Chains A and B, each alone.
Chain A
């Protein structure tokens, strides 16, 4: 046992790095005295950087040796390339969130190190969530992601909207995780084990009641669906995205959502399906859960896109857009093939860049104008062509138009579907992309088609912080580069699409 723990700690370095940074941030806050304004931020960034390095260092080794090499802490956590890919994404998301938070004066006022410590705790929870290999670990991890998120979304204590968002989040979150743990308990009752591989074996062998298994799946889906904001568990999403501080909105729209997908895939692929030769899986346990996921996926993207059409507040619009994207990603989950997994990983990485980039622009504009409404973007393309064009690029990528990386991501998703003959689902996804063009183009229209300079009138300009301009340029540039030559990212996603099981 001691040996097992010792072995586990050896593979736990990235997480330990985060824990260490969190403790430092808290301790730093306790000491009185004048501190440099950027001390907390630089501490958090260096902690994240080290966590990134340790994760990267594990990557080539993970899951390569056979046997139980990649499973640690008595089958609780799996360190495979799949989870490491997610962990790398989480660190990048967290770094971008920390950078975004620099612009928010309000966060400074409320206590920056507190904010950073909570964000990093959330990241730690996401690290555990995607690596969880045991139902108990799933539950602990999902709570560890949720509780800091509740506090973070209510971080502006004096702000009614923020407080309301936080409370809504808590209520919905408690209900969802309650349903999830009920599902887990039913599953434990049937399988007699909490281990994913054990559950799969039990489901494949045992002859369980269809209704019982289906109920269990639905209950567990409530928990996952809540994390990824899938219909009908999405109701919290727009209010919380609107009310939360913008950096946190950006963080929630990418980090916990991706973590939810990682965990959902691990759960369904390892506990609810068996691998076939040739890189595909088939569902076990007498449920057609892929069909359930497909239906949820269509409902999610359709509702997300249709609701987004009406929005005038950018944060709310992005909330619905992120619901729609959860729908696209879910399509990849139900095909049960290696290509589908690769496509999801690839799309998530692209989504991280384009969504964070779009939020960066929202933050920049809100900092200048004090508003997140569509009207704040009027004529932005003429006042600052650089920011306008970059934003247009990110938005076209969110629609999925070439030559942007968003198109390549969608292409892989759709091709995975068509390869497994899910034609109707692919068609639904594509038609949804067309609908989504309308509201993304509305932003572009506001930036470029409205407020064009009249002849003779002096050109209005607006300048932003050059550092953020550079960051935005890098993100938009990545979207363009990966839209034309995406092989490195694809190779990474492909080699990461291997799940380790007992």
Chain B
């Protein structure tokens, strides 16, 4: 079983989607349960990944490979290292929780769950692929279900948000495709003289990609991934998509899809074009800094709770940029940690927003007040989420941010100092909105708002537990990532 663990994790959701498609339209509970099983199995398998992952190796593990299109040297090649393993776990976890969070969806459940599972296949596939062609196919396959999930089950401006998301991401991915082809033709096997899509081989040959042309390729790739992250100024699709998407889809968007951009930068930009990465580093750090501050300032100005959380993602992903650009041990670990913890925390926040929206049918921060009186449990969980997000020590968000600051201070002293202002702003908007929503006298309109229910708690509690656990004891996760990140740092070298 260990040999095809990743294949199973990737394709069981797809099999589940096929299964759902052949069931009757009306049998909504069957669709739900099938989706639960099809996303549950990868979660169980991910525990096997967690326990069997050898934390002392920097290279690829659980590798599977086979010929696909020999004429073009395209292989079916999967494998994970310390960078992708936590993200695969995150994908499995959030997908499973989101299926539970989708239980209440009544509109065309068959199509919804089939698309959702297809999305999970795409996401897992992206993190596991070690062949560029396969990587690109999964990268794009993910777009199609996302378009429909936002466009059909979304909010009032869903059509606009869906196509905007689609166009932005496709624009990024054509740049990615150009770069992939450039890599393909540049690589010549020393023995056979053949070109390759093998990412591991290209990473091994990274020292030979130098000069202006590869800097241009680096920038193209960076833009492609920056759209996904999103980094200022490529972020404008995000608030629309996040706000219009249904809650579970927002969770996946923030929790997993944004990570793909950072993952792509770490895996491709840094590990394949280290020279360009060194040269580009200051710009990357600068854009990270702008994202941190701009995202936080935008959050501060929002009146829509969901939009606030959406912009906070821009701000938090900026920390990943800053940590990566510094390319120090602490910085890279911080960035990778921030990816994982932001996935959990942002997922939690979107679920919380979903809970309140389902009850009040609006998300206007000023339209509530005193909810803590009516929904104490909900207020408590939200408090954990907000505190984790603003980086309270002892909760998960702190670890990533602290490591990023620690790491980037060596390389970018002034930018790091300025970035700390982002923390203050973050604390500002989270505390301010918490005060407006939960404190004060109870808004009479919400006299009999029901407390958070068992199903919602099922989705929230695992995330709360993980937030606390990682906040107190991050070592197992850090150990998992450390060796691979060390290899990245060594490849790129010291930033001057």
Residues of A within 8 A of B (CB): 382, 396, 401-403, 407, 411, 414-415, 418-419, 423, 426-427, 430-431, 433-434, 437-438, 441, 445, 448-450, 452-453, 455, 459, 485-487, 490-491
Max count, chain B CB within 10 A of own CB: residue among A414, A418, A491: A418
A-facing residues in B59-114 (Cβ within 8 Å)? 68-69, 71, 106-108
Q: Which of A396, A402, A415, A486 contacts B181 (CB 8 A)?
A: A415
Instruction: Tell me whether A437 and B178 are in contact (CB under 8 A).
Output: no
In the bound complex, how far is the Cα of B181 from the Cα of A65, in angstroms? 36
Task: Return B223 CB to nearest CB of chain A, in Å.
Answer: 12
In the bound complex, how far is the Cα of B425 from the Cα of A216, in angstroms? 68
- Return chain A residues, CB-CB under 8 Å to B167: 434, 437-438
Contact with A along B133-149 (1 / 0, CB 8 A): 00011001101100110
* Contact A434-B151, Cβ < 8 Å, known A418-B182, A427-B178, A441-B166: no
- Return chain B residues, CB-CB under 8 Å to A414: 177-178, 181
B174 at the interface (CB under 8 A from A): yes
In the bound complex, how far is the Cα of B137 from the Cα of A407, in angstroms? 9
Q: Which of B137, B151, B158, B184 contacts A402 (CB 8 A)?
A: B137
* Contact A433-B174, Cβ < 8 Å, known A418-B182, A445-B151: yes
Instruction: Tell me whether A448 and B152 are in contact (CB under 8 A).
Output: yes
In the bound complex, how far is the Cα of B184 from the Cα of A415, in angstroms? 9
In the bound complex, how far is the Cα of B405 from the Cα of A228, in angstroms? 59
B406 at the interface (CB under 8 A from A): no
Q: Which of B25, B108, B144, B182 contacts A401 (CB 8 A)?
A: B144
In the bound complex, how far is the Cα of B142 from the Cα of A401, in angstroms? 11
* Contact A485-B69, Cβ < 8 Å, known A437-B167, A455-B106: yes
Instruction: Tell me whether A434 and B71 are in contact (CB under 8 A).
Output: no
**Smallest CB-CB A-B distances: 3 pairs:** A430-B174, A402-B137, A449-B151
* Contact A434-B107, Cβ < 8 Å, known A448-B151, A490-B71: no
Instruction: Tell me whether A453 and B108 are in contact (CB under 8 A).
Output: yes
- Return chain A residues, CB-CB under 8 Å to B71: 487, 490-491
* Contact A402-B162, Cβ < 8 Å, known A414-B178, A426-B178, A449-B152: no
Instruction: Tell me whether B141 and A402 are in contact (CB under 8 A).
Output: yes
B384 at the interface (CB under 8 A from A): no
- Return chain B residues, CB-CB under 8 Å to A431: 171, 174
Q: Is the interface of A mostly helix, strand, loop or mixed?
A: helix
Q: Which of B25, B108, B163, B175 contacts A438 (CB 8 A)?
A: B163
Instruction: Tell me whether B151 and A403 are in contact (CB under 8 A).
Output: no
Instruction: Tell me whether B163 and A445 are in contact (CB under 8 A).
Output: yes
Task: Return A479 CB to nearest CB of chain B, in Å.
Answer: 14
* Contact A452-B171, Cβ < 8 Å, known A414-B181, A418-B181: no
B451 at the interface (CB under 8 A from A): no
A and B contact pairs by CB, cutoff 8 A, 27 listed: A382-B108, A401-B140, A401-B143, A401-B144, A403-B141, A414-B177, A414-B178, A418-B178, A418-B185, A419-B185, A433-B170, A434-B167, A434-B171, A437-B170, A438-B163, A441-B163, A445-B163, A448-B148, A449-B151, A449-B158, A452-B152, A453-B108, A455-B107, A485-B69, A486-B69, A487-B71, A491-B71
In the bound complex, how far is the Cα of B182 from the Cα of A447, in angstroms? 37
Instruction: Tell me whether A449 and B174 are in contact (CB under 8 A).
Output: no
How many residue pairs at the A-B interface have CB separations less than 8 Å?
A: 79
Instruction: Tell me whether B69 and A487 are in contact (CB under 8 A).
Output: yes
In the bound complex, how far is the Cα of B154 from the Cα of A448, in angstroms? 13
* Contact A430-B144, Cβ < 8 Å, known A448-B151, A486-B69: no
- Return chain A residues, CB-CB under 8 Å to B25: 459
Nearest B-chain residue to A441, judged by Cβ: B163
Task: Taking A402-B140, A448-B151 as given, write out 5 further A-B residue pairs in contact, using a Cβ cutoff of 8 Å, ordered by the A residue number.
Answer: A411-B181, A415-B184, A426-B178, A430-B177, A448-B152
B240 at the interface (CB under 8 A from A): no
In the bound complex, how far is the Cα of B163 from the Cα of A438, in angstroms? 7
- Return chain B residues, CB-CB under 8 Å to A437: 166-167, 170
Task: Return A354 CB to nearest CB of chain B, in Å.
Answer: 16
In the bound complex, how far is the Cα of B141 from the Cα of A398, in angstroms? 15
Task: Return B194 CB to nearest CB of chain A, in Å.
Answer: 14
- Return chain B residues, CB-CB under 8 Å to A423: 178
In the bound complex, how far is the Cα of B175 from the Cα of A431, in angstroms? 9
Nearest A-chain residue to B159, judged by Cβ: A449
In the bound complex, how far is the Cα of B144 from the Cα of A308, in angstroms? 21
In the bound complex, how far is the Cα of B137 from the Cα of A490, in angstroms? 19
In the bound complex, how far is the Cα of B184 from the Cα of A414, in angstroms? 12
Task: Return B138 CB to nearest CB of chain A, in Å.
Answer: 9
Instruction: Tell me whether B108 and A434 are in contact (CB under 8 A).
Output: no
Nearest A-chain residue to B163, judged by Cβ: A441
Nearest A-chain residue to B147, judged by Cβ: A441
In the bound complex, how far is the Cα of B137 from the Cα of A423, in angstroms? 22
Max count, chain B CB within 10 A of own CB: residue among A415, A450, A485, A490: A415
- Return chain B residues, CB-CB under 8 Å to A402: 136-137, 140-141
